[in-house]
Amino acid sequence: MAITIRPLLRQFAFSQTRRNPSLVIHLSPLSHGSPFTILHLRRVASVTSPPSDTPPHDHQSRRHRHRHPHQPFSDQQYRIRRVSPPETLAQKIGKAIRRPGAPSKARVYADVNVIRPKDYWDYESLTVQWGEQDDYEVVRKVGRGKYSEVFEGVHCIDNEKCIVKILKPVKKKKIKREIKILQNLCGGPNIVKLLDIVRDQQSKTPSLIFEYINNTDFKVLYPTLFDYDIRYYMYELLKALDYCHSQGIMHRDVKPHNIMIDHEQRKLRLIDWGLAEFYHPGKEYNVRVASRYFKGPELLVDLQDYDYSLDLWSLGCMFAGMIFRKEPFFYGHDNYDQLVKIAKVLGTDELNSYLSKYRIELDPHLASLVGRHSRKPWSKFVNVDNWHVAVPEAIDFVDKLLRYDHQERPTAKEAMAHPYFYPIRNAESSRSRP
């Protein structure tokens, strides 16, 4: 049964306080007999425990202070004392040092945002045109992320299915960035279409309305894909990436969770542009982007002037997982271990060459953690379960993508020209012939 967006906000509010008890959410009725909505959020100081020499519930603890006549120890030895846990190696690791003199710049589309007028990329000055929230009803929850809750919905006027993405409380400029990028990319190949932007009048909670895709979960779909299917969907994803890069935009969160596939319709959409950013040559970006298993080495060694090539690494990780039937392909337990997992496959000789080229010095603790490893041949990952999709052209393609040096990776357009995609290009050209 469909319900309006508003009743969700109360449940949404309490889910936030469960995750963070220091967050107090004030609710107010929208109207007589209507559900509550979020009015505002505020943090409260966490309650600190009283000093150890003044125990709480003193009337209970006093009786335990009398020592048994045969007890040889003082009651001081029975007091609970908080001991800080020992510092882990990960906590000791500092940021890498980048020496000047080795800047990095995108090989393609570097000046797109230099040439274009400021209002194309200046999302902070965006004035959002809000639609009517009551035009939409939600049917069921289909997912959640760090910054949003996602629901299948319906447009009340034409009864068309849609996706409703209710955004969690974040900085206004982050919301504006996502909206501006989606507007700039509207109509691009395989880019999810933004249909509307709505906001609750009282809580000001924004929701983004997207086209509906009948997606099959990748954990279910990927193991069933044939060789041609993988080639086809990777080619479709590269179309989306080449388009967004040509428009001066890095996605920065390419992963299976953000690739919607309607297998019956053979339709793919690249979604979740919440971490996407405009590329400006020489600009230093936050390295805390992308999901751990898909983070490029540049992020893990604190190289901040990265570019579109980050998306090609993430695509390479995703592709390796598909052809080797190993998901995720690089399975690190934290960001430092992620670099270790990469080094155990690609070796440390090329890692050191990469660091040297860009004049990066790793923290000694991280360098020690990474250790020394030889390169592992891709053939070691081929087995009886994946040999039918881990074909020679696929292995050559993954080898081209998974390079430490981001400037050595192919661009999205170059990747589309790889021999692996010959059957797809051939089929497309055949369809276009009269």
40 close to 16: Cβ distance less than 8 angstroms: no
Active site residue 253: yes
Whether the link from the prior residue into 328 is cis, omega within 30° of 0, is yes
Q: Which of 253, 305, 307, 311 is catalytic?
A: 253
φ/ψ of 231, rounded to 5, equals -60, -45
DSSP 106-150: -SSSTTHHHHS-HHHH-GGG-----B-GGGEEEEEEEEE-SSEEE
Between CA 306 and CA 98 the distance in angstroms is 13
380 is in an annotated binding site: no
Helix (H) or strand (E) holding 15: helix 6-19
Q: What angle do CA 9, 47, 203 make, to 5 degrees?
A: 20
Q: Which tokens in the block code for residue 168?
A: 């969690």
Residue 103 corresponds to which tokens in the numbers above? 């800047």
- CA–CA distance, 110 with 120 (Å, rounded to integer): 15
Backbone angles phi, psi at 144, to 5 degrees: -150, 155
With beta carbons less than 8 A apart as the criterion, state whether 126 and 176 touch.
yes
Largest interatomic CA distance in the chain: 103
Distance of CA 50 to the CA centre of its chain: 40
Kindly state the tokens that stand for 263: 């297998």
Q: Which of 118, 299, 314, 142 is nearest to 212 (CA)?
A: 142
Name the residues annotated as catalytic: 253
Q: Which residues participate in the annotated binding site for ATP?
A: 165
Q: Which residues participate in the annotated binding site?
A: 165
